[in-house]
Amino acid sequence: MIDPKLLADHESAKQVALLLDNKCTNLEKRLEALVGQLAALNGHKAPEQLVLELARLQEQSARFQKKLFGDSSERRSKDREEAAPKAKSSGHGPTKQPELPRVETKLELDEDERICPSCREVMQPMVGATEDSELVDVLRQQYLLRTIRRQKYSCKCGIGVKIAPPPVRHLARGRYSLDFAAHTAAEKHVNHQPLDRQRRAMRRLGLTVTTQTLWDQIEALATILAPVYDTLREYILGGDIVGVDETWWRLMKKKPTKRWWVWCMATPNAVWYGIDESRSAKTAGKFIGDFAGVVVCDAYKAYETVAKGSPDLRLALCWSHARRYYIDAEPHYPQCAEPIKLIGELFDIDRRTADPSLLDGDHKVAAAQQRQRMRAEHAPPILDKLRAWAIEQRGLPKSSLRKAIDYMLGHWIGLTTFLDDPFVPLHNNATERALRGVVLGRKNHLGSKSKRGTEVAAIHYSLLETAMLCGLDPHAYLVSAVYALQHGMSPAEALPMSPYWQRHALPPAVDV
């Protein structure tokens, strides 16, 4: 490191720059010598090895710079230029708000303001004549202390006594309502508000509460909803196709801890999360080992290990992952534009057909048949071109081009699983999207403070995200599910995709 005191004036900075330049020159010479020695030991020519090493270092430097300062989007500049132009806006009129409740407010003049400026008489209201406009308003959130008075009843015989039933509670003799607990859980796991941030907001609105009290509310909810959470996993594993992915999580203790992992299993109408301290194949087997069907995933080795020990489990790998390797290599190898274009043509095949996994009944069957025909007709020629192109390339060892080609050819069987089944997607993007909420929550409240915290987070994330996938308001779903469970509903009936919620309409989900 350079001592800032040495850069006190221009002349000192100039001397330091010269020293650094000499140091870089010496390091380059040292690198050249070491590469020459390594090449001699391996029986290779030193100049060729030096070229390969420098090319690898240049690519590595470019990747680091893009990761630090570049756009995280996978859309290339060419894609943006070729995107269809947006339709011209018809104007800047107000956005319609069909879901907002309507309240009418009538504004009138006081009598002394209704004096006619001409004759000084009092003006009378014009029947049916008003000037109308709309105003989107907000009602400030409010907390209140509700006194519950349960009426008692007695019979004149002096024996019979009855009392009105108490409200449904998630905590026996608890002071906070079920609605309050559901609100706290949704704020944390849908809107990603840490409990302490909620506590401060509540204090500004007049409610004094501790983060421990808030934790007690969401922990009690999780205890009640745990059977539904377990049933949700059974529902997902009972299907034929499931997307699987994982991301890191943090278990925060007094001492620094290693990363834990959130494992995600997703279908079009459900998502389940499990949080574990390991990312091993053993953990993957614990979550998906008893599944019989197709697992859509990336090329993480743990999934391959699980598949080898489960004869009824097949892997379908994600073409979006294969495409990312070529996108990373394209700045250094322009020829990667060809496989990117061909992979895009694979995606276009499915875009021209309806997704059968999102339909029911005869529409589902018809869509599956149509997609199967389209894939069988158009996908094999594209795949043949991709494979032939990859075999013809001569990329430098360890280069980004070589990595992209080796990834695609090395996992060709998994990447072509979609040809056998129209319900198998080309990519695992839906599962990656299902992890966005977890990642946002991790950035806001950093992780969990205990192992029980990881369990509570997994339960709430699973049920709240699934409720939104099913079009239900997450807060209303939690309240209704707890109420129904305490009145005899089975965990299977309480699942968000259960027909019960279609018969008993809940408020629709809104974008959060």
Spatial neighbors of 199 by CB under 8 A, at least 6 apart, are 209, 210, 211, 214
Query: In the prediction, which pLDDT does 44 show?
Result: 57
For the chain, what percent of residues have pLDDT higher than 70?
A: 82
Q: What is the pTM of this model?
A: 0.82
Mean pLDDT (the chain, rounded): 86
354 φ, ψ (degrees, to nearest 5): -75, 145
pLDDT digits (tens, 9 = 90+) for 166-197: 888 888 888 999 999 999 999 999 999 999 99
d(CA 156, CA 471): 52
DSSP-assigned states of every residue in 128-181: T----------PPP----------EEE-TTS--EEEPPPPP-SSTT-SS-HHHH
pLDDT digits (tens, 9 = 90+) for 304-318: 999 998 889 999 999
Q: Kindly indicate the confidence band of residue 256, based on its pLDDT and cuts at 50, 70 and 90.
A: low
**Residue 450 Cα distances to 423, 447, 456, 458, angstroms:** 39, 9, 10, 13
Spatial neighbors of 176 by CB under 8 A, at least 6 apart, are 213, 217
pLDDT at 357 over 80: yes
The identity of residue 363, as a single letter, is H
pLDDT at 50 over 90: no
Spatial neighbors of 239 by CB under 8 A, at least 6 apart, are 267, 293
For the chain, what percent of residues have pLDDT higher than 90?
A: 58
**Residue 449 Cα distances to 90, 182, 188, 437, 454, angstroms:** 52, 21, 14, 19, 8
Q: Kindly indicate the confidence band of residue 36, based on its pLDDT and cuts at 50, 70 and 90.
A: low
Query: In the prediction, which pLDDT does 355 show?
Result: 93
pLDDT digits (tens, 9 = 90+) for 99-152: 888 999 888 888 888 888 888 888 888 888 888 888 888 888 899 999 999 998
DSSP-assigned states of every residue in 58-110: HHHHHHHHHHHHS------HHHHHHSPPPPPP---PPPP-TTS----------
The identity of residue 26, as a single letter, is N
d(CA 264, CA 275): 9
Burial of 28 (0-12, 13-18, 19+ CB in 10 A): exposed
pLDDT digits (tens, 9 = 90+) for 204-252: 999 999 999 999 999 999 999 999 999 999 999 999 999 999 999 999 8
pLDDT digits (tens, 9 = 90+) for 427-439: 999 999 999 999 9
- Which residue matches tokens 């998994």? 414
Query: In the prediction, which pLDDT does 512 show?
Result: 38
The whole-number average pLDDT for the span 293-310 is 94
pLDDT digits (tens, 9 = 90+) for 396-441: 777 889 999 999 999 999 999 999 999 999 999 999 999 999 999 9
pLDDT at 462 over 90: yes
Query: In the prediction, which pLDDT does 49 show?
Result: 52
Helix (H, G, I), strand (E, B) or coil at 341: helix
pLDDT at 46 over 60: no
The whole-number average pLDDT for the span 379-391 is 96
